[in-house]
């Protein structure tokens, strides 16, 4: 056996070893699960574009921290409502198109990457609608102080509930995919 043939054999074995170690499928890939955790921890930390530690600081310290919180919530709520008013129908239409495409590609044609993206994007669209609803409620009622903190806390709780259900469903579907590929593959 020549040195070149041995080198080719080592190179093929190396590629096989790397691709066996780093599975390129979505649900068995560690990076998918890391991104799922980052998406949901970020979504529950940033409430209407306001970091939740700012809400806690405003509740604890009051005074200027509360004024800063009220200003930031007012600015972000107006911004969300402006975007919804100006281009909300376009965003809704494009969002439905993307989610429908992902659902068809993922669950009809069984493309695992589309399933993974759909299981990330669909619940996040629900959080987006929840944020829009909360922004509209804040703009209408104009809560201040403790009432505003309660409204933001309630929004965060519902975001976390959506996140927990989403992570649970995604985990079940991911385990099902990994077991079915392991049994069939």
pTM higher than 0.75, yes or no? Answer: yes
Integer Cα distance of 177 and 185 in angstroms: 11
What integer pLDDT is reported at residue 88 of this predicted model? 94
State the burial class of residue 109 (Cβ atoms within 10 Å of its Cβ: 0-12, 13-18, 19+): exposed
- Chain Cα centroid distance, residue 177: 20
Q: What is the pLDDT of residues 34-68, one digit of tens each?
A: 999 999 999 999 999 999 999 999 999 988 999 99
For residue 46, give the 3-state DSSP assignment. strand
State the burial class of residue 136 (Cβ atoms within 10 Å of its Cβ: 0-12, 13-18, 19+): middle
Q: What is the pLDDT of residues 77-123, one digit of tens each?
A: 999 999 999 999 999 999 999 999 999 999 999 999 999 999 999 99
Residue 1 has pLDDT above 60, yes or no: no
Map tokens 């993974």 to a residue: 116
State the sign of the Cα–Cα–Cα–Cα dihedral 162, 174, 112, 20.
positive
Average of pLDDT values for 15-41? Answer: 79
Spell out the residues 6+ positions from residue 48 whose beta carbon is closer than 8 angstroms to its own.
73, 76, 77, 80, 131, 134, 135, 138, 152, 155
What integer pLDDT is reported at residue 85 of this predicted model? 97
What integer pLDDT is reported at residue 154 of this predicted model? 97
Average of pLDDT values for 18-22? Answer: 58
Q: Are 110 and 25 in contact (CB under 8 A)?
A: no
Integer Cα distance of 55 and 35 in angstroms: 25
């Amino acid at each position: 056996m020549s040195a070149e043939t041995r080198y080719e054999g080592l190179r093929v074995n190396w590629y096989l070893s790397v691709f066996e170690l780093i599975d390129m499928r979505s649900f068995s890939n560690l990076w998918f699960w890391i991104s799922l955790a980052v998406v949901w921890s970020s979504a529950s930390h940033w409430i209407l574009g306001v970091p939740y530690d700012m809400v806690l600081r405003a509740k604890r310290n009051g005074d200027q921290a509360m004024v800063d919180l009220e200003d930031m919530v007012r600015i972000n709520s107006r911004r969300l409502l402006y975007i919804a008013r100006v281009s909300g129908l376009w965003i809704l239409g494009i969002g439905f198109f993307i989610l429908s495409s992902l659902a068809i590609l993922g669950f009809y044609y069984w493309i695992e990457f589309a399933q993974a993206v759909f299981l990330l994007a669909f619940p996040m669209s629900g959080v987006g609608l929840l944020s829009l609803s909360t922004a509209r409620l804040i703009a209408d009622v104009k809560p201040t102080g403790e009432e505003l903190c309660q409204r933001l806390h309630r929004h965060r709780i519902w975001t976390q509930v959506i996140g927990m259900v989403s992570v649970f469903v995604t985990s079940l579907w991911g385990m099902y995919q990994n077991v079915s590929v392991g049994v069939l593959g």
